[in-house]
Chain A
């Protein structure tokens, strides 16, 4: 599903060229729950931003379904992979429902009108993460962990075959972490989704993931 060859990631502008990690070679398949591990600052988030099309690779190639990521339009990419990032969102009267409904953006008309089918998908995404009772609550009224779950529900509503989650367990308690990973594993098994998760929680990762990618200093990467 995702083929990565000789990938070099980092940041580049007119004045500087900052290579964060290079020589990444990976193949990730549908149904995989991939755990991305490594110390802070090693380049996990940069890697995730690059494979989701948010950052341009410095060199090398990323292919999704045998087609280079650069050949997809942003609209096509939005129906192929969804993200959950660590940055907090909130304000502007945003309710749980509103946030999850943004997951339908790639599919709805220009005026943002949801069809009954869209509403069913949103409700199902909320149910999967036990968020249905909170659907009318403002995002600002939720705990950090609940907010994180809302963003994951948004990803589910986006109905993409690939989901990328950057540190999704950062604010979650023990039970929520296990519930989240169990849900992710179920999505991989039942719907054949490819889910890539970065986390520092090694014990949790070992319990649920079926492929681990460990990034370490000196551009060494180990895949199990």
Chain B
């Protein structure tokens, strides 16, 4: 992809993102276009409710899409992604454990307890699963095996999670089930002061792996011969993915579809393999997808919140299936 085409595409995506951001900020149970900006309700809705939600959508969408891209490149498998490989399930289980721990020491309320511990557990869960998947992929080179192990692992972790849910009390269970449906609406501006620095550092760090990621698309032997420290790359990608998936899952719940589908769609739309291009496009496209899902949620359900997972899956999956059938391009 030429430099001018890359810049043009990036600007177009930024423009779409800006429009979606405005829509997401304004649409909802109260349409801000109809409220005077001098009205105190305007700033209250905008700054306390809409802005955190919009920023969370952007962070969740871009972060998960980037994670998916990193994992797909590392495993050289287009079906890899945080949800498919069980990484999100790892986060969920560890969050469930954290929630249970809280109730067992009688500190009431999952969300009151300070999200830092939940976030830490979520990152640990993501790291734990990614590490297992990586060990499997080193033992067995077959992509199918790695994916199946990821799926099975996800099932095992979900079963454990079910067990914890069964043992949990009604209040914690309700909070946890709501969290599990995925939501970008429960994050406050205070939470974002914690999330944004970690997110920013992780995203910037990812851009330092463009060169080795380009090389590893050939295979590990070639990458090693091209001077890439493959083990260091693996560990770095695992840590970056685990931190991103962990922190996003802690605040938004396990969001399906975005991690696997956005990188696939990005490769189908933008015919480039270079990671500078694909990372930029995945970040922007991921943010656009989750913002669109959130806008749809708000427009369709002004009185109650639709789970974001339902919308991302319902609108995204058919689009990707259509693209896959229509396109002759190789995505992986």
B247 CB, nearest partner CB in chain A, Å: 25
Most buried by A among B214, B215, B272, B332: B214
A18 vs B274: C-alpha distance in the bound complex, in angstroms?
40
Q: How distant is the Cα of A91 from the Cα of B77 in the complex, in angstroms?
A: 9
Interface: A140 (CB within 8 A): yes
**Chain A residues near B226 (CB, 8 Å)?**
78, 102-103, 105-106, 158
The verdict on A82 contacting B225 (CB below 8 Å), with A87-B219, A92-B332, A94-B217 known, is: yes
* A→B interface (CB under 8 Å): 52-54, 74-75, 77-79, 81-83, 85, 87, 89-95, 98-99, 102-103, 105-106, 108-113, 138-140, 154, 158
Which residues of B lie under 8 Å from residue A108 when comparing CB positions? 211
Provide 6 A-B residue pairs closer than 8 Å at the C-beta atoms, listed in order of the A residue: A89-B222, A93-B329, A102-B218, A109-B211, A113-B276, A158-B226
SS class, residues of chain A in contact with chain B: loop
Taking a contact as CB atoms under 8 Å apart, the answer to whether A112 and B272 are in contact is: no
Find chain B residues with CB under 8 A from A105 CB.
211, 214-215, 226-228
Which residues of B, 199-224, contact A by the 8 Å Cβ criterion?
Answer: 207-208, 210-211, 214-215, 217-219, 221-222, 224
Give A13 to B325 CA distance when docked, in angstroms. Answer: 45
**Per-residue 0/1 for B265-297: is the Cβ within 8 Å of any A Cβ (1 yes, 0 no)?**
001000111111000000000000000000000
Query: B332 touching A74 by the CB < 8 A rule?
Result: no
* Docked pose: A106 CA to B225 CA in angstroms: 9
Min CB–CB distance B69 → chain A (angstroms): 10
Residues of B within 8 A of A95 (CB): 273
The size bracket of the interface on B is 20 to 34
CA distance A105 to B274 in the complex (A): 12
State the CA gap A85–B208 with chains docked (Å): 28
Contacts between the two chains (Cβ within 8 Å), count: 101
Contacting A52 at CB < 8 Å: which of B211, B225, B329? B225
B330 within 8 Å of A (CB atoms): yes
In this assembly, does B76 line the interface, its C-beta being within 8 Å of a C-beta of chain A?
yes
A98:B273 contact, CB within 8 angstroms: yes
Contact in complex: A99, B218 (CB < 8 Å) = yes
Interface of B toward A, CB cutoff 8 Å: 72-73, 76, 78, 207-208, 210-211, 214-215, 217-219, 221-222, 224-229, 267, 271-276, 329-332
Q: In the complex, which of the residues A74, A75, A81, A93 has the most CB atoms of chain B within 10 Å of its own CB atom?
A: A93
**Of the candidates B210, B215, B221, which one forms a contact with A102 in the assembled complex, judged by CB atoms under 8 Å apart?**
B215
Contact present for A75 and B222 (CB under 8 Å): no
Complex: chain B residue closest to A108, CB-CB: B211
Contacts of A77 in B (CB 8 A): 225, 227
Query: Could you tell me the distance in whole angstroms from the C-beta of A129 to the nearest C-beta in chain B?
Result: 17
Contact A92 B208 (CB under 8 A): no
Given the interface contacts A91-B331, A92-B330, does A112 sit within 8 Å of B225 by beta carbon?
no
In the complex, residue of chain A having the shortest beta-carbon distance to the beta carbon of B274: A112
Q: Which of A78, A102, A138 meets B330, CB within 8 Å? A: A138
> Please, how many angstroms separate the alpha-carbon atoms of A135 and B330 in the complex?
16
